[in-house]
A and B are shown apart, each in its own frame.
Chain A
Amino acid sequence: DTGVSQNPRHKITKRGQNVTFRCDPISEHNRLYWYRQTLGQGPEFLTYFQNEAQLEKSRLLSDRFSAERPKGSFSTLEIQRTEQGDSAMYLCASSSTSGGDYNEQFFGPGTRLTVL
């Protein structure tokens, strides 16, 4: 297993369009997190899953955002009716609730979204 992967790596879209990102976690990890990072800031939590259940959504996540993790494997993050303020790096991380370094999160390469 080569770690967390994300696709696409870059996405340029026009305001008002819908976009979808995909995250494939480390295979044995049961938790999956989405974060958003804007330029010059640290990542901010958006939502997380334990297996297929979405357990929490940040208030940052407006109703234009939806995330799924069918079958507890990969996850998708969809943004509807994109706005320029959605431009950011979207990071996915996964972790395991068992093991020595409890819940250490491993991050994917990110998807950089630019909304024109």
Chain B
Amino acid sequence: ELKVEQNPLFLSMQEGKNYTIYCNYSTTSDRLYWYRQDPGKSLESLFVLLSNGAVKQEGRLMASLDTKARLSTLHITAAVHDLSATYFCAAPMEYGNKLVFGAGTILRVKS
């Protein structure tokens, strides 16, 4: 059974600091997805990582995928308040691409 674990589950950061969110998954997968969710809102797609070694960057966020280690990271550079949200990683089950989500990381950026 595919399981996805994120850590930390809660992250309080000062503006301008850097930090990394980790996402581990339990079975082989060549794809990994990152989503952002604001309170009371739906999920916004951030990154689709399609292969081992994939790295994608958008603004202050950079995501990477190591399929051999079954690990993805979401790195935040010089955090700003607007990045405050809950971040989810998700891995697809082998058949049907059904997503299994981590519990989410609540990010709070303090000024």
Contact = CB atoms under 8 A, between A and B. Distances in A.
Interface of A: 31, 33, 35, 40-45, 48, 50, 55-56, 91, 93, 95, 101-110, 112
B42 A103 contact: no
A40 B35 CA distance: 15
A42 B103 contact: yes
A57 to B, nearest CB: 11
Interface in B89-111: 90, 92-93, 95-104
A43 B4 CA distance: 12
Interface stretch (B11-19, B43-51, B59-67, B73-81): B43-51
B88 interface: yes
A106 B45 contact: yes
B104 A42 contact: yes
Contacts of B96: 48, 50, 55-56
B98 A33 contact: yes
Interface residues of B, number: 26
Interface of B: 4, 31, 33, 35, 40-45, 48, 50, 88, 90, 92-93, 95-104
A32 to B, nearest CB: 12
Contact of B90 (A40, A41, A42, A48): A42
24 contacts: A40-B103, A41-B104, A42-B4, A42-B88, A42-B101, A42-B104, A43-B101, A45-B98, A48-B96, A50-B96, A55-B96, A56-B98, A91-B42, A102-B31, A104-B45, A105-B97, A105-B99, A106-B45, A107-B35, A107-B43, A107-B44, A107-B45, A108-B42, A110-B41
A103 B31 CA distance: 10
B32 to A, nearest CB: 12
